[in-house]
Amino acid sequence: NAGVTQTPKFQVLKTGQSMTLQCAQDMNHNSMYWYRQDPGMGLRLIYYSASEGTTDKGEVPNGYNVSRLNKREFSLRLESAAPSQTSVYFCASSVLSGGWETQYFGPGTRLLVL
């Protein structure tokens, strides 16, 4: 049971390049999330998917797209990377436990946009 996995671990992009961050979970969770983490700002929600086939915007969706490929996988795409998207990106999935959903996080992807 690997939990939540993310690839790649590190990436350097040039401004204008595109890339897809991959996330997969093997815990059979329905809900999945993408966050970005910036110093002093905690984590901010980019997009989430409450179930397979559905996605919704979070707090900071501009410049990103997502795909819920199946129940296990939730990818985040940067179509034209900008330096402002330099950040650490975390994927999470959640399960109903004790009457409330608890989120489990992956190890993160560190992205540098030059």
Partner 1 sequence: AQSVTQLGSHVSVSEGALVLLRCNYSSSVPPYLFWYVQYPNQGLQLLLKYTTGATLVKGINGFEAEFKKSETSFHLTKPSAHMSDAAEYFCAVSDGNAGNMLTFGGGTRLMVKP
Contact residues: partner 1, CB under 8 A: 4, 31, 33, 40-45, 48, 50, 56, 58, 90, 92, 94, 98-108
Residue whose CB is less far from partner 1, 19 or 43? 43
Residue whose CB is less far from partner 1, 23 or 78? 23
Contact 91, 103 (CB under 8 A): no
Residues 6+ apart with CB under 8 A from 39: none
Residue whose CB is less far from partner 1, 17 or 75? 75
In angstroms, what is the minimal distance from the CB of 99 to partner 1? 6
Rounded CA separation 64/82 (Å):
11
In angstroms, what is the minimal distance from the CB of 4 to partner 1? 7
Residues 6+ apart with CB under 8 A from 97: none
